[in-house]
Amino acid sequence: MRNIYYLLRKEFRQIFRDPAILRMIFIMPALQLLILPFAADYEVKNIEIAIVDYDHSDYSMQLTNKLSHSGYFKLMANASSHHDAMEMVSKDEVDMFIEIPKSFEKELVREDKASLSLVINAVNGTKGNLGAAYAMAIVNEFNQEVRMEWIKLPRINPEPMIEVTFSNWYNALSNYQTFMVPGILAVLLTMVGGFLSALNIVKEKEIGTIEQINVSPIRKYEFILGKLIPFWLLGFIILTIGLVISFVVHGIIPGGNIGLLYLFSSVYLLGILGFGLMISNFTYTQQQAMMVAFFFMLIFILLSGLYTQIESMPTWAQKLAWLNPVTYMVEVMRMVLLKGADFWDILPHIKVVAFGGLILNGLAIWSYRKRN
């Protein structure tokens, strides 16, 4: 135990003397949390639209107004023909256009039905889908309004109408920032735990200092603990900085007990540190360690449900996602911060992560050889 104290003292001296590490610990989380939630936004607004109005009627004007005032669309042009509008789409001047045929109003009034055509640039699938959905909703609403004008209300509505009203819970304004911040925080913790610990151990190999440690009475487990404990503690510092930023800048007031986040993070970081340790066992230079860590990090982040829904992944990818430790961290962050989950809610996550941590650390210690 005495040796661990000396190792820790040495380790902290080195960490607080290394400007790169300090920047990574304090500035990186701050920047990521300040920039990413604002920039990485999935909400699709300002879809650029053109209208091809062959009808020039009252109703076609009403529909055009409705579309352009919805807030989702930006009316870019009134094209004179289908051909012109198509050209605009191909030149990327607009994302979609609506074509109102010549007899739109006449048919609507006389035959009680009319057709519209919607042409969408679906290169950006999300934007295309959402644009179509928004447009459909607006056209439907317009349809309802028109019919309401005509129908002389009978005593009992012959067609039962179901109207759906929404109420958003946990993230009342469907604010994307609120959704992203906990996720980004989770990734930050992973980077510090996985990256920095791996790099730190490999640095001793690269510089050769591990030789001197290996011929001293310091035992394997003491050396490893001396490496892991500092980064475990740094993880908490980052978590704290992150929570403060998400409160001050993004106005996220934790719905649940913050203590739960620290509890979960303490277990989670142990697993991630084990992962970092593994990387360091199989690499010999910091550059190699960096590349390997980066490779895994990319997979972890993209498979974590941070940016994409796990539920919409193919089944095999979903299985992978639930093998990914970052998934659990992102989930728990969102559960506790947004939904106000309690201990029993996150207990299953704790169990899985603790189990995974045991396996990772077991493998790491097994593969760490003090001599070969």
Partner 1 sequence: MISVNQISKAYGAKKEIPALTSVDFEVSKGELFGLIGPDGSGKTTLFRILTTLILADSGTAAVAGFDVEKDMFKIRNIVGYMPGRFSLYQDLSVRENLEFYATIFNTTIEKNYHLIKDIYVQIEPFANRRAGALSGGMKQKLALCCALIHKPEVLFLDEPTTGVDVVSRKEFWEMLKRLKSEGITILVSTPYMDEAELCDRIALIDKGRILEVATPAALVNTMDSPVWAISTGKVYAAMQLLSSFEGIGEVYPFGESLHAVVDAGFKDTAGLKLRLQKAGIADAEVAIISPTIEDVFMHKMKQAPHA
* Cβ 9 to partner 1 shortest distance, Å: 8
Instruction: Select 7 or 333, whichever has its Cβ closest to partner 1.
Output: 7
How many other C-beta atoms can be found within 10 angstroms of the C-beta atom of residue 325? 23
Q: Site residues (CB under 8 A) for partner 1? A: 2-3, 6-7, 10, 13-14, 17-18, 207-212, 214-219, 371-372
For the CA atoms of 259, 262, 263, 265, the dihedral, rounded to the nearest 10 degrees, stands at 160
Instruction: Select 4 or 100, whichever has its Cβ closest to partner 1.
Output: 4
* Cβ 333 to partner 1 shortest distance, Å: 34
Q: Nearest to residue 363, comparing CAs of 282, 296, 274?
A: 274
Contacts of 93 (CB under 8 A, 6+ apart): 48, 50, 76, 77
Instruction: Select 161 or 215, whichever has its Cβ closest to partner 1.
Output: 215
CA distance 317 to 320: 5
* Cβ 317 to partner 1 shortest distance, Å: 36
Count, in order, helices (H) and strands (E) of the chain: 15, 4
Instruction: Select 81 or 216, whichever has its Cβ closest to partner 1.
Output: 216
Sheet of strand 96-100: strand arrangement: 73-79, 47-53, 96-100, 117-120
Instruction: Select 207 or 359, whichever has its Cβ closest to partner 1.
Output: 207
* Cβ 6 to partner 1 shortest distance, Å: 5
Helices (H), 151-196: 176-190
For the CA atoms of 351, 354, 356, 362, the dihedral, rounded to the nearest 10 degrees, stands at -140
* Cβ 235 to partner 1 shortest distance, Å: 22
* Cβ 287 to partner 1 shortest distance, Å: 18
Contacts of 180 (CB under 8 A, 6+ apart): 36, 37, 40, 41, 306
Instruction: Select 19 or 314, whichever has its Cβ closest to partner 1.
Output: 19
CA distance 342 to 263: 12
- Which residue's structure tokens are 């980066």? 294
* Cβ 209 to partner 1 shortest distance, Å: 5
Instruction: Select 145 or 211, whichever has its Cβ closest to partner 1.
Output: 211
